[in-house]
Amino acid sequence: MFIEKIDRDALLKPLQTVVGIVERKQPLPILSNVLIEKNNASIRFIATDLEIQISTNQVIEASGDDNGSVTVSAKKFQEILRVLPDASKVSLDIQENKLLIKANKSRFSLQTLPAQDFPVVSNQLENASKITIKQGLLKKLLGLVQYAMAQQDIRYYLNGVLLVIEGSTIRLIATDGHRLAYVSSKLDSEYAKHEVILSRKTVNELSKLLSDSEEMITLELAEKQVRLSFAEIVLTSKVIDGKFPDYERVIPNYTNHLLLDRITILQALQRAAILSNEKFRGVRFVLTEKNLRIISSNSEQEEAQEDIENDYHGPALDIGFNVNYLLDGLNNTSAQTVTFSFGDPNSSILITVPGEDEFKYVVMPMRI
């Protein structure tokens, strides 16, 4: 017996940790599989798409007599475990080219592929810089910028997040060419300068796997690869090779500021968005003395208008923006108040949080 009478959750939890990067349609069938390695009282699960690899260890109380390894369909194995009753005891056995799964009165037989054929990602971490940071802090920083990543831009270096380590500062920057999100924070130690672009998939997986805890995560940053180790999880990923835009030039320094309650402006934009053009999603900001008017309209000549009284004393402005971009920035910060800073009608808008220079969000204007 490969594994005998183990709690269902002792298999399901680590499997769910790694299965996020597995896609059903893969050029190599074995990439749809998860590698399961048993070594005495621990089980290791590994999944990869050749760009990213995630592995996790699970200590087990009950175990069979045999050590061994096998690869099996990650999604099917996950589904089987997920629908078993919570308190189920599961036994696994390898017979010829099948993995036999037994639980209560249920029996399943899954096709396997040889463990030795599983393409484990090679180590390219020579001369890597090693940084430690709290999991909760890194999760928060990623959440403040990741929505600004490009989706499938031909400028491949935009399809991710720039991570900069310099001295005792960490910076994360994301942009899709239409908006840019920037955040920085202090680290506990000093480090040499290092920059890498984390891929979109790596960022999304990290955001799901990181906890809000004070526990530490170790980042190993090399020229072509990064490795992140935390809570029995090891995520290894290629980095995006390319020159990230000069983000410091994009962040403006304006003198016209508008202080707003975040929930008030957020809800006003949500209402205005209902009647915005479905394709371009544009809203107009008409800014006059002590008043911000938000206007949206669509091809059916429908219109929405919202007025927000404020303490603005700068020049009058009429400027358009993609409402989704504004909503993204406001939804992903928990600040009570935000500052909108303006240049002229052809300039971007800068969204910041009063008293916190660490976060900056820039949205380019659009013609409406």
Q: How confident is the model at residue 319 (pLDDT cuts 50, 70, 90)?
A: very high
Whether 168 and 69 share a structural domain: no
Cβ(30)–Cβ(119) below 8 Å? yes
Which residue, 152, 128, 78, 117, is CA-closest to 236?
A: 128
Residue 180 in any domain: the answer is: yes
pLDDT digits (tens, 9 = 90+) for 157-189: 999 999 999 999 999 999 999 999 999 999 999
Number of domains in the chain: 3
Residue 308 in any domain: the answer is: yes
Distance CA 9, CA 90 (A): 9
Q: How confident is the model at residue 64 (pLDDT cuts 50, 70, 90)?
A: low
Q: How confident is the model at residue 2 (pLDDT cuts 50, 70, 90)?
A: confident
Q: How confident is the model at residue 348 (pLDDT cuts 50, 70, 90)?
A: very high
The pLDDT assigned to 83 comes to 96
Whether 8 and 96 share a structural domain: yes
CA angle 201, 206, 209 (to 5 degrees): 125
Could you tell me the CATH number of the domain that includes residue 347?
3.10.150.10
Cβ(33)–Cβ(21) below 8 Å? no
Whether 7 and 112 share a structural domain: yes
Whether 84 and 148 share a structural domain: no
Q: What is the pTM of this model?
A: 0.93
Residue 172 in any domain: the answer is: yes
Residue-range definition of the domain harbouring residue 228: 129-249
| Average pLDDT over every residue of 120-146 | 95
Which segments of 43-199 does DSSP mark as H helices, in order? 74-83, 135-143
Please spell the DSSP secondary structure of 241-276, one letter per residue. Answer: -S----HHHHS---SEEEEEEHHHHHHHHHHHHTTS
Which residue, 195, 203, 116, is CA-closest to 151?
A: 203
Residue 368 in any domain: the answer is: no
